[in-house]
Amino acid sequence: MTNDGKELLWSAYDKYWRHTRDIAFLKDIRGVYMGYSQPFAKMAGRAGADEIIGKTDFEIFADKELAKRYVDDDARLVEGGRSLENYVEPITSENGRPRYCLTSKYILRDEAGDPAGIFGISRDITVEYEARQSYENELRNLFELPEGALLSVLFDITSWRVVDVRCRDESDQVTSRYGQIDQYFENIAASVVDDDEVREFFKKLSPGFLEREYNKGKRGRSLEYLRRMPDGGERWVRDDLYLLLDPVNGNLSLIIVLHDIDKARREYSLLILAAERDSMTGLLNHESTAGRIERYLDGAEGMQALFMIDLDNFKDVNDNFGHQYGDRMLTDVADAVKGIFRDSDIVGRMGGDEFMALMKGAPSEAAVRKKADELVSALQFAASCGERTLEVTASVGVVVFTAGERDFKTLYGEADCAL
């Protein structure tokens, strides 16, 4: 190399040490520092050349474990004879906070090809490293198959593929069952029983939809629904969905964890059912009848009919034959009323001897009149005890209306006045 070439190389070398933002250093083969960058001095907590040049790692770094790590890396580099590239290692902490860098070390050789020194270059990646560690920890915690979970599936949404599956079969072993992401979502949608909202949610899953959900801040969702299982049975399950962004490659990940909640859900349903029902007749109680009618009318359209039913002379039955006799009659009345209306209609006991029924989507006023006549005809009883007999009949008040015209409270009053 000519003198001009050497001067040019030295000039570039000098400017690099002065201006680089990298944590860079140069050591001789004994591990003694020969050169350094300003970011290196700052990381090491040293003010100038007299505290670095001619010193070893043990003399520069107060943390002797850190110094030993660097010395061991150098020994591994020289003994192996090959560069160490892009590995993560700790650097000095800052205000008690651990820091990390991405380091590469290279062997420098003399003209004879023998190792003469070590050149190292590092970049502080603390923020990226912590973000990646947090992501991996969250991913690992979410993807674990917890007690009661049937399935965990990890998807890479950006590349639209199934990454991993954990499934608990009958022998409590984890196996893989799904290979294609579209197949998995199709299987879920097809297995949903009587819940169009959940079914449609899984049908519309796509990279674009999930990316929009993530960008809106919707990072998690739980869906409870009745699911048809592979054995043909039906069980209540809960799907927990989590969206995570990989801080390194920017890919969006989705984790779905399927939980078996059948026992808890059925027990809860029984409690709710008991709370909604009139204990004597089994019909909906006052609050549940009113609540269900109000919820139905919120989204209903078209003609509806509200029936108010009141027993005549029922007080005389209780007074003359006793409350047990009266209770049996109320049960018979409840059975008769329920039998006249459809399963989809709302039928309840409002209290005492008053009953209510909402005929959903009444086809015509003629059909409503016919239903009222059926009630009057069916609710005729002869209460007898010994030689005494009391006739019990029913009065029926009906309001025919178009959904949205009046609220439930108003309709209740109108039906009561129509008795």
**pLDDT tens track for 51-88:** 999 999 999 999 999 999 999 999 999 999 889 999 99
User: What is residue 283's predicted lDDT score, i.e. its pLDDT?
Assistant: 95
The domain ranges of the chain are 3-124, 130-266, 277-417
* Residues facing 384 on adjacent strands: 389
Residue 95 to residues 58, 322, 329, 336, Cα–Cα distance (Å):
21, 84, 81, 79
How far, in Å, CA of 42 to CA of 322, rounded? 96
pLDDT attached to residue 171? 39
Closest CA to 122 of 14, 16, 17, 21: 21
What string of pLDDT tens digits covers the 419 residues of the chain?
566 666 777 777 778 888 899 999 999 999 999 999 999 999 999 998 999 999 999 999 999 999 999 999 999 999 998 899 999 999 999 988 999 999 999 999 998 999 999 999 999 999 888 888 888 888 887 778 877 788 888 999 998 988 888 887 643 333 345 557 888 898 899 999 988 999 999 999 999 999 999 999 999 999 999 999 888 899 999 999 999 998 877 899 999 999 999 988 888 878 877 788 998 999 999 999 999 999 999 989 999 999 999 999 898 888 888 889 999 999 999 999 999 999 999 999 999 999 999 999 999 999 999 999 999 999 998 888 777 888 899 999 999 999 989 999 999 999 999 98
In angstroms, the CA 122 to CA 103 distance is: 4
What is the model's pLDDT at position 172?
Answer: 39
User: How would CATH label the architecture of 3-124?
Assistant: 2-Layer Sandwich (3.30)
CATH code of the domain occupying 130-266: 3.30.450.20
Instruction: Tell how far CA 340 is from the center of its chain.
Output: 43
Q: Which residues contact 166 (CB under 8 A, 6 or more apart)?
A: 143, 145, 151, 152, 153, 174
Give the span between the Cα atoms of 43 and 409, in whole angstroms.
74
Segment 168-198, tens digit of pLDDT: 764 333 334 555 788 889 889 999 998 899 9
CA distances from 143 to 207, 217, 233, 348 (A): 20, 21, 26, 46
**Rounded CA gap, 89 and 126, in Å?**
10
Give Dmax (Cα) for the chain.
136
What fold, for 277-417? Answer: Alpha-Beta Plaits (3.30.70)
- pLDDT of the residue at 169: 66
Q: What is the pLDDT of residue 84?
A: 93
pLDDT per position as a tens digit, 99-152: 999 999 999 999 899 999 999 999 999 988 888 888 888 888 777 887 778 888
Tell me what pLDDT residue 166 has. Answer: 84
The predicted pLDDT at position 131 comes to: 87
Q: Do domains 3-124 and 130-266 have the same CATH topology?
A: yes
Return the half-sphere exposure (C-beta side, CA atoms, 13 A cut-off) of residue 379: 29
* Token pair of 123 as six digits: 């970049």
Please name every residue paired with 185 in a beta bridge, in sequence order, or none if there are none: none
* Per-residue pLDDT at 6: 63
